[in-house]
Structure 1
Amino acid sequence: MKRLSLLCAGLLLSSLSYAASVSFIEPADGATVGTTFPVKFAVEGMDVKPAGELSPTSGHHHLLINAAAIPSGEVVPFDETHIHFGKGQTEATVTLKPGTYKLTMQFANGAHQSYGEPLSKSITVNVK
């Protein structure tokens, strides 16, 4: 029975994830930014909630620096290249050294478990 429940939850999560999407409001893909710059996140089809709240239709943002999307169900690491916005923030100020960076937004549930590729978005920024 437990296995069936997990399977059903996974199917529900998959269908919700594909109906939802994330995007960067700011910066634009390919933008040149200063060493300190604003990052604004958007999500459609899901609710932004603080970490700890578990619902198949909610979660919070993570910003991955020069890292790929996290596979569905895996916990987003806690380190300097995986920034957590567990209070439900939808914007932040980021400081990076000059260079070219791949920024990946990853939406994850209240336990920091990734919703996978469908709820991630990557852009490139040039920091001057």
Structure 2
Amino acid sequence: MRASLLLAALTITSSLAFAHDHDKAAPRAFIIEPANNATVTSPVTVKFGLENMEVTPAGTENPNGGHHHLLIDTALPANLSLPIPADAQHVHFGKGQTETTLELAPGKHTLQLLVGDHLHRPHSTPVYSETITITVKEAEKQ
């Protein structure tokens, strides 16, 4: 009898745990502004969005957390199991920042967010935004 009750309790508990995990919405990264296809002047303020995941600084281990990396005029890294590069096209926001101001040359540019874990690696299921395109026009001379 005890074994039957224990088995029933474990079955219910594991079913509830599965239902709870199964119902979680997937994390989503997105660029709040500028809007896709916007025409802007430099410097450009870029605001980052993240849903169903916490923004946590680099070095802070949190399976449901990470920090933003802004990809400028480049595609996602080919190998998403490696740390995200740190260069002019892969800008790290390891302090947990959720916006930045960029100096961009006139012309078309692409922007995309990629969330990294505590070691700057994409998560096992990578969290990244859609790529947006903006056009930077020359500032009017005064």
Measured against the shorter chain, the TM-score band is 0.7 to 0.9
Deviation at 1:78, TM superposition (A): 0.9
Which position in structure 1 is the counterpart of 2:94? 86
1:33 aligned to which of 32, 40, 43: 40
2:105 aligned partner: 97
Any stretches of 5+ residues in structure 1 without a counterpart? 1-14
Task: Give the drift of 1:69.
Answer: 1.9
Alpha carbon RMSD of aligned pairs, Å? Answer: 1.8
Kindly name which structure, 1 or 2, has the bigger radius of gyration based on alpha carbons.
2
Aligned residue pair count:
112
Give me the whole-angstrom Cα distance separating, in 2, the residues matched to 1:116 and 1:26.
27
1:26-65 maps to which residues of 2 (within 5 A)?
26-65=33-72
Question: Whole-Å Cα distance in 2 between the matches of residues 117 and 80 of structure 1?
Answer: 25
Q: Which residue of 1 aligns with 2:114?
A: 106
Indicate conservation of the 8 Å contact 2:43/2:101, yes or no.
yes
Moved more, 98-107 or 69-78: 69-78
1:48-71: CA deviation from partner (whole Å, max 9, x where unpaired): 011101121000001011111234
For the residues of structure 1 that align with 2:61 and 2:107, how far apart are their CA atoms?
A: 37
Contact 2:56 2:62 in 1 (8 A): no
Give identity over the alignment, percent. 43
**So what's the TM-score if we normalise by structure 2?**
0.73
User: Which residue of structure 1 aligns with residue 123 of structure 2?
Assistant: 115
Question: What is the TM-score with the length of structure 1 in the denominator?
Answer: 0.81
Question: Cα offset for 1:116?
Answer: 7.1
**C-alpha distance in 2 between matches for 1:20 and 1:125:** 25
